[in-house]
Structure 1
Amino acid sequence: MQITFLGTGTSQGVPVIGCSCAVCRSVDYRDKRLRVSVHLQVAGKSIVIDSGPDFRQQALRQRIDHLDAVVFTHEHKDHTGGLDDIRAYNFRQQQDMPLHAEPRVLTQLQQEYAYIFADHKYPGVPRVELHPIESDTEVFEVAGVPFQPIRALHYKLPVLGYRVGGFTYITDANYLSPDSLDLMRGSEIIVLNALRHEQHISHFSLQEAVDILEDLAPARGYLTHISHQLGRHHDVEANLPPNIRLAYDGLVVSSEW
């Protein structure tokens, strides 16, 4: 299984509009962070988790010329704002795009993208198939690939992370129950959000994320959904445990399937 980090930034991205801090002025390509998303290539399938506002740019940069499904973690705009750009895959593949999400999230998509679901559609709008994730504990299939949902809380909003084989992906969370942690345990790679050094109402801080990863002890841990408040990539990574790294846009890693 090949995992590509399409975006590793927070909802504002990095650099932040109008900011002149050292991170936003950095010339290190690893400090340029689009909105958070990952691309999985597994069992001959191409699957994206979250299609944020930068999805078109990300798909072009990584040359994703085929897409079998989109899976959503939750309904916030930095995770859903690029949905319209699946049109290119509709045209290319001549089929509807499967969208997998909890019923609440699918309802939000139907409201925000009402033109996609209109009775009388404008020619060329995205074509989708809705696949509700009805259980936050039972494995479901995405293009034939088993996904284990993992419940997390994003402040008071219930969101989903996912485990696919030896790879676990959690973003936009500040609480994981003991049961959720047990589902993550034994993963070869775990990705966890780490917004900044200070505690935050809806995201793990750097130390909170590191503590969880050290407890779960994956072979490799990666941090994502990073804000400019965390600091420059080079400076932060120098102080992390050897098996925990900061993810960055375009990073490609592999995991056992």
Structure 2
Amino acid sequence: MKLLENSNLDRLNSVLFTKNDDCRIIGRIESYSCKMAGDDKRLFKVFSHDAPPTDLAALAPPQTILSASPNAGNYSRSLSSADENDNPLSHVCSRKTLYYLISTLNASFRPDYDFSHSKSDEFSREPSVTWVQSFIDNTLGTVLGEHYHRLHSTLWNTVDEEIDLKECNVYSYNPDLECDPFGDEGCLWSFNFFLYNLKKKRIVFFTCKAQSASADDDSGLGRDNLDMSDEEMEYFLGIEEEENSMPIVVE
């Protein structure tokens, strides 16, 4: 997996690295090419020893439904999402796709973690892009309030330009505490989502955690970005937004 440079995502990541009186938010959005080369090819051969890459791997149920996010009880599933979740094919993926998800984790968290032995039931296929967008908006909006409201449209427009949300399947990583890179003391919640565009052979990885303000701070956070004015936010992101810009909505 190759990390793709994107200056707009870099600016978003700076804004997603923030804090308030209650917690610190540490978020990253990264784009990866799924084209294999060198070590990737060797690891894929090892991964393929157990079963062909076209075989299906069983996944866990969608975690956006099961997760206790800060405000998870306040929104309900649509009938279409429920129907999709009842489809047995929504609980599987090809082993090749599973390999891409594991390789993305390795690329994003190296050298501190090795996910090579992660099992398929640590991953889920989520009902839809729209459902995951709502989950992320609800989770970050509850914690960051107006700060996230100002960031919202720019965030999803930037992600859409990079990955084409309408063409994506969404997966999540939900490890046990022993394997969780965010399982340290003081972690209030975390999420790890993969927006996978098969046509582009690309994955956008959105990972985020909330750390208790009382926990030891080794994040290196400096200025509190929550204090930015609208003008400062637009200048910092380097993106001029139209007055009545609308958020991305994926059917």
Q: TM-score, normalised by structure 2?
A: 0.23
Structure 1 or 2: larger helix share?
A: 2
Structure 1 or 2: larger strand share?
A: 1
Q: Which has the higher contact order (CA 8 A, sep 6+)?
A: 2
